[in-house]
Amino acid sequence: HFGPELFKFLRQLRQNNNREWFQANKRRYEEHVKRPLQRFIEDFAPELEAISPHFVADPRGNGGSMFRIYRDVRFSKDKSPYKTQAAAQFRHEFGKSAHAPGFYLHLAPEEVFAGIGLWGPDTPTLTKIREAIVADPGQWRGIVTERDFAAAFNRHGRSLKRPPKGFPKEHPLLEDLKRKDHIASLPFTHEQIYRTDFIDVYADACRRASSYMQFLTRAVELPY
């Protein structure tokens, strides 16, 4: 699906982040970034359905799984009009009306990774996840320490400095209860991205994280 021209375009866009350059090179964007990503999304759909039928791979260029290249600069000091990475998010079917975990693919010259989980959920959603961890700490611990997942994925994100209100201060999983984001990522090399079977590599990463995603999805009272 992807080749070196994708990253070449993104590197050059970073150096020429203006409308004139982009318009002059829009055909390259369509050929090497947009259409390959749309094909990847379309081809990933059956793999995703096998992992969970409740997540969506939508290849549409607008309103689908692919992030648009245009930046929203209304509230940003940085007025660069274009994003310098390509990305796709495979949302839960209820993801537009609820804070739900998702699968993510990030393609940038300096880093390529699979992302899994929930970034910046609101307080009620975060409380549900914390309650689910407290209700079944053994299951949660088993999921995040399971070898296939723990050896591949790095969990990160923001955390509270103090224990969350209403939860035990001495809880053995306090560090997880303090999390404000529940995300994990697995890096890929450019060589992996260029392989003809990269879709299988990415699908395997998503399968490895399936138990983690299932826990988070059910914790926020959505079907997996």
| Interval 128-182: pLDDT, tens | 999 999 999 999 999 999 999 999 999 999 999 999 999 999 999 999 999 999 9
Quote the pLDDT of residue 68. Answer: 94
Q: How confident is the model at residue 75 (pLDDT cuts 50, 70, 90)?
A: confident
| Integer Cα distance of 82 and 70 in angstroms | 5
91, pLDDT greater than 70: yes
| Integer Cα distance of 89 and 103 in angstroms | 6
Who has greater pLDDT, 98 or 58?
58
What's the average model confidence in pLDDT over 58-82? Answer: 92
95, pLDDT greater than 80: no
Average pLDDT, the chain: 96
Quote the pLDDT of residue 99. Answer: 84
- Alpha-carbon torsion angle 95, 98, 101, 103, nearest 10: 10
What's the average model confidence in pLDDT over 181-187? Answer: 98
3-state SS of the chain: helix, strand, coil percent to 5? 45, 15, 40
| SS3 assignment, position 125 | helix
Question: pLDDT > 70: what percent of the chain?
Answer: 99
Cα atoms in the 13 Å half-sphere on the side-chain side of 32: 19
Q: Which domains does the chain possess? A: 4-219 (3.30.930.20)
Quote the pLDDT of residue 166. Answer: 93
What is 24-57 written as a DSSP string?
HTHHHHIIIIIHHHHHHHHHHHHHHHHH-TTB--
Q: How confident is the model at residue 96 (pLDDT cuts 50, 70, 90)?
A: confident
Q: How confident is the model at residue 97 (pLDDT cuts 50, 70, 90)?
A: low
Tell me which of 39-48, 90-99, 105-114, 181-190 is least confident.
90-99
